[in-house]
Amino acid sequence: MLTLPLAAWLGRLGMGQLYLVAALCGAATTLFQIADNAYLPTLIGQDRLIEGNSKLESTEAVAEIIGPGLGGILVQAITAPLAIVFDSLSFMASALLLGAIRREESSAPDARDGDRPSWIHDVRVGLRASVGHPIVGPEFLVEALSSITGGCFLSLYTLYALKTLQLSAGALGVIISVGGLGALMGTALAGRLSRRLGLGPALILCLGGSRLAGLLIPLARGPEWLAVTCLVGHQLLGDALLMSYYVLATSLRQAILPQEILGRANATFHVAAGVLLPLGALIAGPIATAAGVRAALWISAVIGLAAPLILQLSAVRRVRSLSTADVTR
């Protein structure tokens, strides 16, 4: 990232460099997320996974709330190149903080045995853990379905708000920012729902509620205040419940899968999302062209309702807590 302001100051910045930096940052971010998710159980223990994931997602939600505004202020105050320098330094500060962790990490069994599996072996292990497991498998199907419908949503939401509903850019910005507040609420809600309802039922409730809240998007219409109310309701309720679901689902996957498999399963989840998200966007385009943007969002929202049914029909519904999750294998 530091090469961008340097090239800008030298008058040599071009699209090729931007593409390359974006690709490298995306690859590094994905690798970090896979390792971060797999490392957390070693760092804090299984009994604190929901608490730990809630705190991590809380920081993400706060960043979603203040990040865009802070970025705009920095660009205005110190120019875009210096803002990128500031952003780069924040990544370096994070790396230093991670380097300060002194907890000893145990080696995975295959690493201890001196075995170095091929990437084909890793893919096979990841797929077996993601698709073949009676609890993780339904989570994977939900993630796949959510990536397709999410691609449709992401590709059409801004167009829908600005063109179909004729909202102002300012109103759209406020609506999206409210999503950060909803996500923050969801991180605090996850543990409480799990303790009160049981882990499996809480997962199904959160996912089902978030999908029902998604119906507010195509339902939005009429005067601006009514359309904004529908979209804000979705951002608050839908994002809160969806964040609770992700906290609980991630914690469950971390508790069930062995350490040496968890990273490979995480990679499988990331690859599936990376492939299916743009696929959903590509599918949404022709549907929106033929039937309209609102109709495409209706189709996406209705298909999304199948996600909680996947969990309800699986062994997930019988899971009561992280400590008893392995009983249902």
Show the domains of the chain with their CATH numbers: 3-102+118-321 (1.20.1250.20)
Q: Tokens standing for 320? A: 């009561």
Please write the tens of the pLDDT for every residue from 181-227.
999 999 999 999 999 999 999 999 999 999 999 999 999 998 989 99
* DSSP string covering 137-178: HHHHHHHHHHHHHHHHHHHHHHHIIIIIS---HHHHHHHHHH
Please write the tens of the pLDDT for every residue from 172-181.
888 888 888 9
CB count in 10 Å sphere of residue 298: 17
CA 239/CA 236 separation, integer angstroms: 6
Distances in whole angstroms, Cα of residue 2 to Cα of each of 19, 30, 77, 97: 14, 19, 19, 20
Core vs surface per residue 302-320: b (16+ CB within 10 A) or e: eebeebbebbbebbbbbbb
Confidence at 112, pLDDT banded by 50, 70, 90: very low
CA 73/CA 76 separation, integer angstroms: 5
CB count in 10 Å sphere of residue 251: 26
Place of tokens 């949503």: 153
Q: Tokens standing for 129? A: 């853990």
CA 162/CA 166 separation, integer angstroms: 5
Q: Say if CB 237 and CB 182 are below 8 A apart.
A: yes
Q: For 308, how many CA atoms within 13 A lie in the half-sphere containing its CB?
A: 20
Residue among 156, 185, 172 nearest 227 (CA): 172
Kindly tell me if the per-residue pLDDT of 128 is higher than 60: yes
Residue among 310, 320, 313 nearest 200 (CA): 320
Q: What is the mean pLDDT of the chain?
A: 90
Kindly tell me if the per-residue pLDDT of 85 is higher than 60: yes
Please write the tens of the pLDDT for every residue from 132-174.
899 999 999 999 999 999 999 999 999 999 999 999 888 888 8
Query: CB-based burial of residue 2 (10 Å sphere; 0-12 exposed, 13-18 middle, 19+ buried)?
Result: middle
pLDDT given at position 107:
63
Please write the tens of the pLDDT for every residue from 33-81.
888 988 999 888 888 999 999 999 998 888 877 877 788 788 888 888 8
Q: Say if CB 302 and CB 209 are below 8 A apart.
A: no
Kindly tell me if the per-residue pLDDT of 327 is higher than 60: no
pLDDT given at position 143:
95
